[in-house]
Amino acid sequence: MEQDIRKWVAQCPQCQARRASIKEKAAYTPIIVTEPLELVGMDLIGKLTPTESGHQYICVMVDYFTKWPEAYPLKSKRAAEVTECIVDFFYKFGAPKRLLTDQGTEFVNKTNGLVERLNGTIQRSLTKMVGEKPSSWDQHLKATLFALRTKKQITKFSPFYLMFGREARYPCEVPSDYEVSDEKVEAMVEKEQFCHAFSEHKKCMEAVQRNAEKSQERVLKRKMERGHDDIFVVGDKVLVRNKRQECRKGGKMDPDMLGPFSIVKVDGKSIEVTSEAKGKIIQFNTDHLKKYVEPEPHIPKKWVSSVSVSPTTPSCTQTPSPESSSPTFPTCSKYVPIQCSDKLFQTS
C-alpha cells in the first residue's frame, strides 16, 4: 500500500505543479573567469514596495571575478530605463567582455546564479534596514552596496580591494586633526603605497582564481552528495517554473510549475520545448525545468498479486478449536498454532 501511495502522489499533476524546489537538482556548471570585468551578470529585483520617489525595482549588476556589485533603483522595468543602468556602469568601469542576463522580457534567456544569490542578499539587508518603513528602501541601497563591496568573498579578498588595489578607508580611520599640506602630499607620493599594491596585482589575481576554484569544488562535491542531476533528452515531458507567478503580487494561488511541455531540442543547458495546445517553441534553461511524471492507472498492488497467485499455493483448512467457544483459525504449512496464557496465537 505504501508503494501505491508514493507512486500515486508522485504522478499527481496538481502536486507536481505546486512543487517548485528544483534548484538543488540543477546541473552545476562553474563559470571560469580570469580577470576583472571579463563577465558581468545582470538581473532585476521586483516588484518591491513603491518608494516616495516612485522606485519599485532594482537593477543589479555584479562582476564575476571581483564580485563587485552595482544596484540601481528603477521606477519601471522598461528596456529604456534598464539600458540607462548599463550605460552608467560602462561609464564607470568600461565595457565588460560579456554581459550575462537571466530569463525575462528585458533580457535573453541565460543562467545567472551569482546575481540571483546577490538579489537575495540585497533584499534581506534592505528588509533589516528599513524597519517599519518599507517604502524607504531606496535610501538604504547605497549603504547596503558599500557593505557588500568591503566584505571578503569566496575569493578571500573584498571586491573593493580587487577593483582598486587597496581596502576602503572608513571615516573613523581618518584623524580628526588631519590637515592636507604640500609636504604631506609629497611624502605620501614618495611612499608609493598605491603603486606597490598594483605591483602585486598579478599574484593577487592568481590567488583569486585558486580560491574561486576551491570554492567551486566544494559546491560541486556538496551537490554530488545530494544526488544526481536531471538528464533531459528529446521527447521528455517537463514542467517549467512559473517565473511570472513568483514576481506578480496576488498570484500565490497560481501553480509554481507550468506544463507539461515536450522537449524538441537539447543544447547543453539550453532546451527548447513545445506545448501540444499551442505548438509554439520556447527556449528555457535546465535550471527552470523538472521532469514530469505521467499519471498511470492506479491498480493496487494487492489486487495485482491476488490475480497472479500460483495455483500450487497450499490450501488452508479450518482447524476446530478444543472448545466450542474458542475461535478457529485457518491453518496451512505457513502457520503454526501455539498455546500461551490460555489464548491461541498464530505465528508465521
pLDDT in the model for residue 188? 62
- CATH number for the segment(s) 28-226: 3.30.420.10
pLDDT at 296 over 90: no
| CATH class held by domain 1-15+230-302 | mainly beta
Going from N- to C-terminal start, the domains of the chain cover 1-15+230-302, 28-226
pLDDT in the model for residue 263? 92
- CA 141/CA 159 separation, integer angstroms: 17
pLDDT at 331 over 50: no
Neighbours of 281 (CB within 10 A): 12
- CA 221/CA 215 separation, integer angstroms: 10
In terms of C-beta distances under 8 Å and separation of at least 24 residues, what long-range contacts does 68-75 make, across chains too?
A: 68/36, 68/149, 68/159, 68/160, 68/162, 68/163, 69/118, 69/122, 69/145, 69/148, 69/149, 69/159, 70/145, 71/122, 71/141, 71/144, 71/145, 73/138, 73/141, 74/44, 74/46
- CA 198/CA 209 separation, integer angstroms: 17
Lowest mean pLDDT among 15-19, 112-116, 135-139, 298-302: 298-302
pLDDT in the model for residue 242? 79
pLDDT at 332 over 60: no
Identify the band that residue 343 occupies on the pLDDT scale cut at 50, 70 and 90.
very low
What are 182-214's pLDDT values in tens digits?
676 666 655 545 555 556 777 787 888 888 888
Lowest mean pLDDT among 58-72, 100-114, 251-265: 100-114
- CA 292/CA 285 separation, integer angstroms: 16
pLDDT at 62 over 90: yes
What are 20-48's pLDDT values in tens digits?
454 445 456 678 888 899 999 999 998 89
